[in-house]
Amino acid sequence: MKAGKYNVKGLFANRYVNQIIIPEVQRDYVWTNLQVDGLLNSILTDYRSFTSSSIDMPEIEDLELAEAFQEFYLSRKYSSNIGFIYAYTDAQSEGKYFLIDGQQRITTIVLLLLAITKKAFLKLEDKFKATYLHKLDYKVRESSHVFLQDFISHELSNKDFTFKESLHYFGNRYESDKTIQSVLNNYNRILEILECQEVSFETLFDYIETKVDFWYFDTNISEQGEELYIYMNARGEHMQVNENIKAVLLEKLPDIEEKNRYGKKWEEWQDFFWVKRDKNQNADKGFNQFLSCIAGLELYLKDNKTKFYNKSRFDENGIKISDILEVLDISCIEKYFNVLKELFGKKEQFIEQRDYCKWLPIALDKFWELLNTNTINWFADYNDNNRAVERSAMVYVWSVLLYLTKSKTSIELIANTYRLLRIYWVRYNNNIRSVSNIKIEVNSQINSGIWKEPIMDIEGKSTIDENFKNKIYNTCKPSERKELEELIWEIEDHEYNLLGRDVGNINITHLIDESLEITIESLTLIRDKFYEIFPVGDKNHNTIKHVLLYYGAFYDRVSPYYYRNYNFSNWRRIIRNLGNEKKDTIYPFKDFWNDFLQFEGTINEFIEKKDTFELKAEDCLDFNDKLLWYSKKLKQRMWSQGSNICLSLGTPCSLSDWSSKDEIFSNNYIFYNTKGNLKGGTPKKISNLL
């Protein structure tokens, strides 16, 4: 039987196929109702489109030709494809085709045809018997083999024997067999679905036989790999990457036993991606991306720079299967899959050991998202500065996978696995993109431990935070390390701290005076104080804007620049002392933060103490002092329109009083509170709020 596209009847009635066998080494029939529902709903949707649609036909005098043309058109447009089927043949078992992949779908299709025959009051019995009776055989175990033959014959002959009685009858005989349990459960589910359908069962039976199709691949014939690839591409068919890779890799294995063993493993790998798929993703998407990812990693490890894909080449067709196959074999895929499974499988065990670990599910979700995003070009030139997205993903995903595959202890010691993930999770949030350092860095982490100074500054960027943390972890008492570590995680995880990209890759040291002793007590104080002034979910922080005005110009002048426009809400910059107009001379947030850490009281008490200072309008000479005067008078009301303050430079504007002077500070134009600029919202004169 040649490779190519077949419908269901074309497989079962093929003159070369006497029987389709699920061999002993394959797993049971394990599909659940959820997967059965998915397959049936897809087929029924296509069936309804096929039976309800028509086309605008040119006038054809030959009625038979016109009907044939319409049938041909609708068949091509509304056929229902169920993917790929893989099998091998044995010279000693002529006519028997042993399924490597596709048993779950093929078994479900046979059950569906049997159920339709039953619902049609056995009007279709002869058709079913002629093509499908005893054609599918389970050799997984003897009970499965005997049951399937008994069950099909029973359903065709016992017209009045209800399913409930059938379930009881067969359940008692074969109650410990997983395949039998799934067959009975799914057959019942199929009957329930069919009960709700207003269809012609004869027409539906015919549709499934002739319009449900798939791609068949015989792994015994190596030439069919290239033949199938050309055949499908010539017809513009979409080919699932992992399915074709599977067929080629299994064909390369030396004997049938190895083909069967890895065929079963491949299904287990597909199941992993099925279970973890997102609601808008299918299993193939994740598996395909995983294969592209580890193929790119293998090329990187071999320092092969001849396979780089530029943007246009990648955007056109993605990564070619032949390029993936050049670097991957079945054992290589197995190696990476095993560590991926460990990484996600031990998560709950680690979380149970921690008092604080909110970051881990988020970090793993991002890791998984990168593996499921088909916009990531894992074959991109990692020395190209324009490939920032890909390079950041490579540093995060490749570093973790490489470490886990090379370090035996990383799997045995769960804590180190996720501590390592934490390092690269923070680097990902800092947009660290030095892919060329991965091999050196990971080897150093394996040989010297994950708590060590980084090999070098990454792309010339500061590694002060990592050096600081590694120093703490290596010098603290072992009994205190876990608590210190979790405190650092919690401080870093605040949204203003974790995202260190474009603000110096600093996530925690901006809050810590390293000249002082770092203790559990000092870190607890830092955590509590920081979350007090920046509570999670609050985006305004108007009280902090007010108190920071006592310490200087913490804000940034922003576009448009034809008037004075200042943003008071870029907190990622502000807390790192990057958001001020006089960067070299004042450190508003740092000075405030040091004072607040030493203050024994709440932030409101701290502000009340500050506000006892009397400030007169005539004493306010610069912009900052004038804003502080307004803020002391207005409090929260000063920011009713947003986090920007702007005033004119005397240039024309749509506002009629743009060139007027401020009512309080007559040597300035009017102060406005705005959402961002004067082009939107309802800017408010601050003086009118008094």
Tokens of 616: 């007169």
Of the spans 210-214, 427-431, 538-542, which averages the highest pLDDT?
427-431
Provide the angle, in degrees to the nearest 10, between the axes of the packed helices 438-448 and 388-406: 30
The arithmetic mean of pLDDT across residues 485-504, rounded, is: 95
3-class SS at 218? strand
**HEC per residue, 114-169:** HHHHHHCCCCCHHHHHHHCCCCEEECCCHHHHHHHHHHHHHHHHCCCCCHHHHHHH
- Has residue 237 got a pLDDT over 50? no
At 354 the pLDDT is: 93
Instruction: Output b/e per residue, 307-327; b: 16+ Cβ within 10 A.
Output: bbbeeeebeeebbebebbbeb
More confident residue, 10 or 84: 10
Q: 676-688: per-residue pLDDT in tens?
A: 776 667 888 999 9
What percent helix, strand, coil does the chain show, rounded to 5?
Answer: 55, 10, 35
Instruction: Look at residue 519 and tell me whether its pLDDT is greater than 70.
Output: yes
Question: Is 257 a residue whose pLDDT tops 50?
Answer: yes
Strands 644-647 and 564-567: antiparallel
Decide if pLDDT at 670 tops 60: yes
Q: How confident is the model at residue 33 (pLDDT cuts 50, 70, 90)?
A: confident
Residue 251 — very low, low, confident or very high, per pLDDT cuts 50/70/90?
confident
Residues making up the chain, counted from first to last: 690
Q: Read off the pLDDT of each residue in 259-284 and give the average, rounded to a whole number.
A: 75
Q: What's the confidence (pLDDT) of residue 162?
A: 64
**Pairwise CA distance, residues 195 & 183, whole Å:** 18
Mean pLDDT, range 169-181, rounded to an integer: 77
Average pLDDT, the chain: 84
* Residue 160 pLDDT: 61
CB 328 within 8 A of CB 294: yes
**Residue 166 pLDDT > 80, yes or no?**
no
Place 449 in a pLDDT band, splitting at 50, 70 and 90.
confident
> What pLDDT, on a 0 to 100 scale, did the predictor assign at position 68?
59
Q: What is the mean pLDDT of residues 139-160?
A: 81
At residue 280, the pLDDT reads: 47
Q: Give the pLDDT score at 250.
A: 78
pLDDT average, residue stretch 424-434 = 92
Q: Which helix (H) or strand (E) holds 542?
A: helix 542-548
- Assign 264 a pLDDT band (cuts: 50, 70, 90): confident
In this prediction, residues 588-597 reach a mean pLDDT of 96
pLDDT higher for 342 or 27? 342
Helices (H), 556-679: 571-574, 588-598, 603-610, 623-634
Query: How far apart, in whole angstroms, are the C-alpha atoms of residue 147 and residue 25?
Result: 18
Q: Please give the pLDDT value at position 226.
A: 42
Task: Read off the amino acid at residue 333.
Answer: I
**pLDDT band at residue 582, thresholds of 50, 70 and 90?**
low
C-alpha neighbours within 13 Å on the C-beta side of residue 443: 7
Determine the average pLDDT of the residues in 528-537.
94
pLDDT at 598: 95
User: Got the DSSP string for 507-538?
Assistant: SSGGG--TTSPP-HHHHHHHHHHHHHHS-TT-
Q: Is the pLDDT of residue 238 over 60?
A: no
The contacts found for 462-471 with CB under 8 angstroms, 24 or more apart, are 462/504, 462/505, 462/506, 463/505, 464/506, 464/509, 465/426, 465/500, 465/505, 465/506, 465/507, 465/508, 465/509, 466/423, 468/508, 468/509, 468/512, 468/514, 469/508
How far lies 665's CA from each of 509, 623, 630, in Å?
40, 10, 10
Token duo for residue 502:
């474009």
pLDDT at 297: 97
pLDDT value of residue 275: 77
Spatial CA neighbour of 138 closest among 251, 23, 253? 23
Burial class of residue 563, CB neighbours in 10 A (0-12, 13-18, 19+): middle
Burial class (CB in 10 A: 0-12, 13-18, 19+), 514: exposed
For the segment 72-90, the average pLDDT, to the nearest whole number, is 76
Predicted pLDDT of residue 89: 81
- pLDDT value at residue 186: 93
In the prediction, which pLDDT does 161 show? 64
Which band of pLDDT confidence, cut at 50, 70 and 90, is reported for residue 271?
A: confident
**What is the pLDDT, as a whole number, of residue 455?**
57
One-letter-per-residue 3-state SS of 580-607 = CCCCCCCCHHHHHHHHHHHCCCCHHHHH
Task: Please give the share of the chain, as a percent, with pLDDT higher than 70.
Answer: 85
Alpha helices in 328-387 (DSSP H): 330-345, 347-352, 359-371
Across the range 601-616, mean pLDDT stands at 93
For the stretch 475-488, what's the b/e string if a residue is b when 16 or more beta carbons lie within 10 angstroms of its beta carbon? ebeeeeeeebbbbb
Residue with more model confidence, 679 or 20: 20
Using one digit for the tens of pLDDT, what is the confidence trace for 336-372? 999 999 999 999 999 999 999 999 999 999 999 999 8
Lowest mean pLDDT among 108-122, 214-228, 354-368, 411-425: 214-228
Residue 138: CB atoms within 10 A of its CB come to 26
Cβ proximity of 60 and 54 under 8 Å: no
